[in-house]
A and B are shown apart, each in its own frame.
Chain A
């Protein structure tokens, strides 16, 4: 079953603009991760934010997490044509058994198109 729900489902912007994608989830989480997927290929991990963190940066990426609202956002600044891809949020569950095993629950993704 899907836990994360990304919004919008599709986003089209001009190169150089910022892109913001949102993710909402339903149950308590240990951490939330964002992944990128280029058409027909595997997913690439972008950033992980723990449940006790509110904001995290990595290069042109900025992720926020609001556990009270069960939501997260991914901001890509100064977008490039190469950023064209689908972006997924994925949540790791809480409580965590501590056994090292966990399954990520993915949303259905936001399809980002960056027009040169």
Chain B
């Protein structure tokens, strides 16, 4: 089975621009989560989608948004980029559904976003 695929691998953007990151989960996984990883804050939960519905959201400003498509692929968008948005953005998929709290997360290799 193919793993979680994130594109692009690297991105360089300028302050004020917006960016869209893409994630293709493992086939059969309907839950997709997004995490932001920075040296200072570590791994922070952004949001989780299941069957095209956002089920859970972390403590991030409204500039961070996401969506999930019917094929479970997900995108996240960051508008009006700030320098502090520079981070590794990780997508993870899982089988989480009913009783799915014991399903581990399968991570992609991330998108490294640099904001200048």
Contact = CB atoms under 8 A, between A and B. Distances in A.
Contact of B42 (A100, A102, A108): A108
Contact of A92 (B92, B101, B106, B110): B101
Contacts of A105: 45
A103 B102 contact: no
Interface string B65-106: 000000000000000000000001010100011111110111
Q: How large is the interface on A (under 10, 10 to 19, 20 to 34, 35 or more residues)?
A: 20 to 34
Nearest to A105: B45
Nearest to A1: B59
B45 A103 contact: yes
Contacts of A44: 107
Interface string B30-53: 010101000000110100101000
B56 interface: yes
B108 interface: yes
B67 to A, nearest CB: 16
A107 B50 contact: no
A30 interface: yes
Interface string A81-94: 00000001010100
Contacts of A43: 90, 92, 105, 107
Interface of B: 4, 31, 33, 35, 42-43, 45, 48, 50, 55-56, 58-59, 88, 90, 92, 96-102, 104-110, 112
